[in-house]
Structure 1
Amino acid sequence: MLIARSIALFLLAALLEIGGAWLVWQGVREHRGWAWIGAGVIALGAYGFVATLQPDAHFGRILAAYGGVFVAGSLAWGVVADGYRPDRYDLLGALVCLAGVAVIMYAPRAR
């Protein structure tokens, strides 16, 4: 159950961080205005909070593992929101990152 919770929190964190950054990007680079920027800033702040809910107590481990989720999530966001088409090296890199997440977060450890 802890692994499922951890994965769900990583996915929510990715949605908030990547979505927040995308909203800021849209507000600034695509001239959509302050409402988009403000929504992005709120989402980015919520991401910071969600990251603290991970069951593991080690900040460095959580953020290191989340980096892999961020890489894969960013590519997925680009596909859905911007029509980006990742090539096989993008996909391979994302899989390597997700394998790293699994090793960092879910490898058996002596307690």
Structure 2
Amino acid sequence: MTIVRSLLLFVVAAVAEIGGAWLVWQGVREQKGLLWVAAGMLALGAYGFVAAFQPDPHFGRILAAYGGVFVAGSLLWGVVFDGFRPDRWDLIGTAICLLGVVVIMYAPRT
């Protein structure tokens, strides 16, 4: 159950951070206004709390592993919201990053 909880927290963190950054991008770069920027800032702030609920006690490990989740989530976000189409190198790189997440977070430790 701990791994499932951890994975769900990574998904929530990805939605908050990537979504928040996307909202800021939309507000500034696409000129959608300050409400979009404000919503993005709130989402980015919420992301800051999510990592604290990960079961592993080491901040550096959590943030390092989240980097791999962020890579995969960012590409997926681009596909869903911006019509981005990853090429095979994007997919291979994402697989490598997610393998790193598994090793960092879930490798057996003594």
- TM-score using structure 2 length: 1.00
Q: Cα offset for 1:67?
A: 0.1
| One-letter code aligned to 1:70 | F
Which residue of 2 is the match for residue 53 of structure 1? 53
The letter of the residue matching 1:95 is A
Which consecutive unaligned segments of at least 5 residues does structure 2 have? none
Q: What amino acid is aligned across from residue 75 of structure 1 in structure 2? A: L
Q: CA deviation at 1:70?
A: 0.1
CA distance in 2, matches of 1:32, 1:53: 33
Aligned-residue offset at 1:48:
0.4
Q: Which residue of 2 aligns with 1:88?
A: 88
How far apart in 1 are the matches of 2:16 and 2:24? 12
> How many angstroms apart in 1 are the aligned matches of 2:50 and 2:60?
15
RMSD over aligned Cα atoms: 0.3
Q: Percent identity?
A: 73
Q: Which of structure 1's runs of 4+ aligned residues deviate more than 6 A?
A: none
- Tell me how far apart the structure 2 counterparts of residues 13 and 83 of structure 1 sit (CA, whole Å): 22
Q: 1:15: which partner in 2?
A: 15
Per-residue deviation at 1:51? 1.0
Calculate the TM-score normalised by the size of structure 1.
0.99
Shift of 1:24: 0.1
Distance 1:95 1:52 in 2: 26
1:109 CA displacement: 0.2
CA distance in 2, matches of 1:91, 1:22: 21
- What CA distance in whole angstroms lies between the structure 1 residues aligned with 2:44 and 2:52? 13
Partners of 1:71 and 1:18 in 2: CA distance: 10
The unaligned stretches of length 5 or more in structure 1 are none
Q: Paired residue for 1:36?
A: 36
**Partner amino acid, structure 1, of 2:62:** I
Cα offset, 1:82, TM superposition: 0.1
The alpha-carbon deviation at position 6 of structure 1 amounts to 0.2
